[in-house]
A = this chain, B = another copy of it.
């Protein structure tokens, strides 16, 4: 067994010193002995890059604090750089500088990894160092490492994830309390689960970064966040959720990527999930990632998708893994260059759909709508018609809820263009994909 007391310490440099940085520093101080025994050498926090050097930093000496990346990289004793600044720049530049200087990098940055992951991973391999990013997806849930290692024997065919805690909290609250979107958004903001500007969460931007990162690992394919077909939850109403429940479904914001006939489908969309599916039961701020592989079938990992402790847990897992390699002189594994597969546009995605349509309560309505769908090859799976009390009291109107069998996005779009113009149709209330 390697002696942990005599070995030279492994130096850590931190880029960023917010909540998560503080949790990492505190854990290294608290559990230092246990970590040293595992690694074979003690860890030592050396330099910390901050925006404001005048602020007091618990557990750190003023001499450790700097606002210049050059000071950090000049410290020869720091072999692992941990980045939790967030955002694209200057984080990407600093990661690149650290890799170029021969430092291993551990990052929690989903945006940088989604947009620049392949290039940075190749750079790391060229420099003989490691770039680890477990904390960029799924907070404390192990996702990246299990996909890189534990499912490696599988041809992964699909990743389906609830990967944004804010929106899952909101949809769960709407489901359990029957509340509306605006009401639960205000509640989520009050509880600190949603930002004052909630756009990145509720519009699925955060989830799109994460599913792009997972595409790289699951399929070894480079998918840009802009190639993810993305839709947020702001159009979901309490009625959609109630209708879904009557049909035996739960509405979740699913981030999904599939390998279909050698092409990629990557989406972030509110989706009807069959109530008995494991993902349908993931409630509140929890996240979950489900993988489908040719050998294993389906496995799902569930846990806290954000927060100080969970994110520190993932960052430190990477740090300890890299530190073990450093202490024992193990070389990084090869980086297999990413494939570039065609990413299918939404019009080619085949899925079942849920349609909620406001109609005039008169004979022939269903026939007209069914004809429009049938003309595009979309066949109806179930129909529910609700009386006007469900639509808010307008007299002479009703709400028609249809579910369909699978059909391509373009068939739905064409049928909806026709349906929208029917005299008997007041509005297309919502159209959502269905799973299971």
Contacts and interface: CB of A to CB of B under 8 A. Distances in A.
Given A314-B150, A320-B153, A299 B297 contact: no
B281 A309 contact: no
A208 interface: no
Interface in A277-308: 278, 281-283, 286, 293-304, 307
Interface in A5-35: 23, 27, 31, 34-35
Given A155-B31, A334-B40, A142 B299 contact: yes
A37 interface: yes
Range for the number of chain A residues in contact with chain B: 35 or more
Given A142-B299, A149-B320, 5 more contacts: A151-B317, A152-B316, A153-B317, A278-B286, A300-B303
A2 B283 CA distance: 44
A324 B317 contact: no
A331 B141 CA distance: 28
B152 A320 contact: yes
Contact of A142 (B35, B151, B304, B328): B151
17 contacts: A1-B334, A1-B336, A31-B153, A142-B151, A145-B146, A152-B317, A153-B316, A153-B317, A154-B313, A281-B281, A295-B316, A296-B304, A296-B310, A299-B301, A302-B302, A328-B334, A329-B331
A390 interface: no
A134 interface: yes
Interface of A is mostly: mixed
Given A2-B334, A35-B153, A328-B333, A300 B297 contact: no
Interface in A126-157: 134, 140-142, 145-146, 149-155
B293 A153 contact: no
Interface of A: 1-2, 23, 27, 31, 34-35, 37-38, 40, 125, 134, 140-142, 145-146, 149-155, 276, 278, 281-283, 286, 293-304, 307, 309-310, 312-314, 316-317, 319-321, 324, 328-331, 333-337
Nearest to A122: B1
Given A146-B142, A278-B302, A310 B333 contact: no
A304 B309 contact: no
Copies of the chain in the assembly: 2
Contacts of A328: 331, 333-334
B334 A313 contact: no
Contacts of A300: 301-303
Given A151-B317, A152-B317, A313-B153, A140 B333 contact: no
Given A35-B153, A151-B142, A297 B293 contact: no
A145 B317 CA distance: 12
A146 B281 CA distance: 23
A27 B153 contact: yes
